[in-house]
Amino acid sequence: MTTMERPVLPKLIGARVKRREDPRLIRGRATYVDDIKLPGMLHLAFKRSDVAHGRITRIDTSAAEAMPGVVAIFTGRDLMALPGATRPVGARGTYAAKIGAGLPPMPIGTPFPSPAHYAIAPEVARYVGEPVAVVVAEDRYLARDAADAIVVEYEELPAVVDPELAMQGQPTVIHEGFPNNLALPYVPMGTGVDPATGAVDNSAIDRAFAEAEVVISQRMVNHRVAPNAMEPRGVVAHWDAGKEFLTIWSATQNPHILKSMVAAVLGLGEHQVRAIAPEVGGGFGCKINIYGEEYVAAALSRILERPVKWIEDRSEAFMATIHGRDLICYLDLAARRDGRILGVKMRLIADIGAYNMLLTAAIPTLTMLMASGTYDIPAIRCELTEVFTNKTPTDAYRGAGRPEATYFLERGIDMLARELGLDPAEVRRRNFIPKEKFPFTTQTGAVYDSGDYEKALNRALELAKWDELIAERDRMRAEGRLVGVGMAFYVEVCGLGPSSSLPTGGWEHASVTVERDGRIRATTGASPHGQGNETTFAQMLADLFGVPIEHITIEHGDTAVVRQGIGTFGSRSQAVGGAALMMAGEKVRKKMAKFAAALMDANEEDLVFENGMIYVKGSPTTGKSFAEVARYAYIPVPLPPGLEPGLSEEAFFEPPNNTYPFGAHICMLEIDRETGEPRLLKFFAVDDCGNVINPLIVEGQVHGGLAQGIGQALFEEVVYGPDGQLLTGSFMDYALPRATDFPWFELDRTVTPTPVNPLGAKGVGEAGTLGSTPAVVNAAVDALAEFGVKHIDMPLRPEKLWRIIHGRAQA
């Protein structure tokens, strides 16, 4: 007899497995929040401030109240249960009693001081789009009609738009108790800074600059962008008055955090709330936050005892969903003439908008943490100031603080190479942290887990055929064309935890159950929104248990099914969630081996799980089927001594450290001399995210990241007028990149596993946004070299480039 009677299952870890999520998505059978309908469900529409900064003097809801289908209208004062509340339609007395003490200000996740931020502004609106009232109606169209019929009068206050004026208190101060609009007045990090006391010793950084043979200084702006997940935000809340239990569906990246925070704000216990992230249409960081609309929906469902739904319009999303980036950097870089960097100073000013959201204050601190990049820089000093302005709040957007660090540093190194007339690859090589120095502690305190930067750079140079690329550029230039090549190297901090680094805790949770029939159900707290965890996680379990992937289901997103979890952000799904899954899986496998050993009178250490069988190594024909052992575990007659029945285990994985993936991006860009229009001709990316479970999914993640990084460099920008009006409030004005905007991306990988988790996986979700942005701008500066350009702020709009080409650059 041979093993041929059972099909041989391929090993799936590392294979290009087609996604198991896709059939429902390509057939239109997935369920996103807006697809949920509950009996008796009401619809919310928010009235939003159309001034950037104004004291609310009157809200006239009378016309709106009289409209058909309107159930109730609540202002900020109503929800806070303050004096002067307007009168909602219907049984006002009943509502008021249920509001009780009202909704408190929204909690944030960082330890920094923060002004009160209410879900609906009760007194002063501080950015265009801030909610000032909410309508509840029987139908979505009627709710919108009624919101439009609410008349709000403001005493307009000066709009604070320019962060560098704002920090001088000009033209006014937005929040009482925060003089000069300083959300965080001064946070130093790096060489000579004592993290415990904040004491600063300048001697080392001063010495670096005193000894420098060349100093590069440049002010740069990493401008504000809008995340724009294709599915806008949305929430359905259902308060079961009988059970006193809230179920809330939301387009969120982290349902467990939503559950905790909604419970806290509504004064409920966490045992009274179930949060569900159904199919979620992209996040990119903007669906980490727990937003006012979620608290309001939950509160109104409880007050009205009806299910309620709110779905964001795209125009609302531009105003009401967090923005990303918006960081000014004054960079000083000290070096020797051989290109060796002696010191880096980054003075950072973050325009965080009108309020602190969940992680707002922490994001720019990641820029400081990553200021050393991939380089062994002996002296670094970062100084951060965070400033309130009358704009939409900022928070995590794909990369969150790390793309900013990479952009500033990689632009600086390119300026240095240009100044010294050195090859930009060579300057990077001379400063790389050598691979034998890992783990490496940077001057900003990051402990890089592993790296082989030289190898990734060499691979990128090979992939791009760097020398030929330069020769090709020169040939094209000789024809009079404006062509440049650019490169950038990056390292990022991923796999967030550990718990000391995240206010929510930095672990992840998983459970694995082998059912009675041998099929496997697993849960993960890493709630995906496009990452493909249902596929990669099933690949891992298929290999672990030696069963077909079709026998495995990965469940996620529902706090009633997934007992615990943190969520998906910071490229942590695989590195933290995947590790938790393997821990739980190994616990089950170990127990199953004990049952199999008892059944087969064998030694559990000798057992092999393969091709749907469990057998003693070397004797594949005499084993038991996986299903047979599973059944025995649930009907254990006799029960082996020392074992409980059943095959269901859970695990929490707490990573000892973050992971630090890295890579090199190279591109070629042409600028039309007549129109100033930039066009990418070639793009090469070599990324090292450690071990890879599914290369297909990793490629997809890199492509998407590149598109967002290139989008920021070339097209995307949130623009406010001097009066604080949002000028890019729709896709008519905000240039999201289209398919025609990109060249073919040529990818490759190097593999440097991380020692901080058992998978050796580092994470890849954000990688593409890091190297691409500086690579593109470096290429544009190279293309315009003949005009003596040192730096161009993003986005590289044709008008800006045309002015440089035609000698009409604005000072």
Partner 1 sequence: MSDLVPISITVNGRKYELEVEPRLLLVHLLREKLLLTGTHVGCDTSQCGACTVLLDGRSAKSCTVFAVQADGSEVVTIEGLERDGQLHPVQEGFWEEHGLQCGYCTPGMILSVVDLLNENPNPSEAEIRAGIAGNFCRCTGYQHIVKAAQYAAQRLRG
Provide the binding-site residues for partner 1, judged by CB under 8 A: 18-19, 21-32, 34-35, 141, 228-232, 279-282, 284, 313-315, 529-532, 696-697, 699-701, 703-708, 730-732, 736, 738-740, 742, 744-745, 768
- Work out how close the CB of 284 gets to partner 1 at its nearest, in angstroms, rounded to a whole number: 7
749 CA to centre of own chain:
22
- Work out how close the CB of 742 gets to partner 1 at its nearest, in angstroms, rounded to a whole number: 6
Q: Name the one residue in this structure whose structure tokens are 């938790």.
A: 580
d(CA 119, CA 133): 10
191 vs 321, beta carbon nearer partner 1: 321
Give the contacts of 450 (CB within 8 A, at least 6 positions apart): 438, 439, 660, 690, 752, 753, 754, 755
Backbone region of residue 595 per phi and psi (left: phi > 0; alpha: psi in -120 to 50; beta: other values) = alpha
Contact 98, 302 (CB under 8 A): yes
Tokens of 594: 């004990």
Tokens of 151: 């008349």
- Work out how close the CB of 138 gets to partner 1 at its nearest, in angstroms, rounded to a whole number: 13
Where does residue 176 rank: exposed (0-12), middle (13-18), buried (19+ CB within 10 A)?
exposed
- Work out how close the CB of 225 gets to partner 1 at its nearest, in angstroms, rounded to a whole number: 12
- Work out how close the CB of 530 gets to partner 1 at its nearest, in angstroms, rounded to a whole number: 3
Strands 273-276 and 245-250, sheet pairing: parallel
595 vs 745, beta carbon nearer partner 1: 745
Single out the residue of 140, 117, 145, 124 nearest to residue 52, CA to CA.
124
Cα angle 135, 139, 143; round to 5? 25
20 vs 306, beta carbon nearer partner 1: 20
Helix or strand run (H / E) with residue 545: helix 533-545
22 vs 164, beta carbon nearer partner 1: 22
At position 661, the amino acid (one-letter code) is: P
d(CA 658, CA 762): 8
- Work out how close the CB of 397 gets to partner 1 at its nearest, in angstroms, rounded to a whole number: 12
- Work out how close the CB of 650 gets to partner 1 at its nearest, in angstroms, rounded to a whole number: 28
- Work out how close the CB of 26 gets to partner 1 at its nearest, in angstroms, rounded to a whole number: 4
- Work out how close the CB of 698 gets to partner 1 at its nearest, in angstroms, rounded to a whole number: 10
At position 180, the amino acid (one-letter code) is: N
Single out the residue of 399, 336, 344 nearest to residue 372, CA to CA.
344
314 vs 519, beta carbon nearer partner 1: 314
d(CA 57, CA 54): 9
Beta bridge partners of 81: none
- Work out how close the CB of 665 gets to partner 1 at its nearest, in angstroms, rounded to a whole number: 13
61 vs 574, beta carbon nearer partner 1: 574
- Determine the length of the chain: 811
263 vs 706, beta carbon nearer partner 1: 706
321 vs 754, beta carbon nearer partner 1: 321
315 vs 725, beta carbon nearer partner 1: 315
497 vs 795, beta carbon nearer partner 1: 795
Single out the residue of 391, 405, 337, 299 nearest to residue 662, CA to CA.
405
Single out the residue of 638, 628, 541, 536 nearest to residue 583, CA to CA.
541
Tokens of 690: 């450690």
138 vs 305, beta carbon nearer partner 1: 138
Contact 321, 288 (CB under 8 A): no
Where does residue 27 rank: exposed (0-12), middle (13-18), buried (19+ CB within 10 A)?
exposed
- Work out how close the CB of 128 gets to partner 1 at its nearest, in angstroms, rounded to a whole number: 17
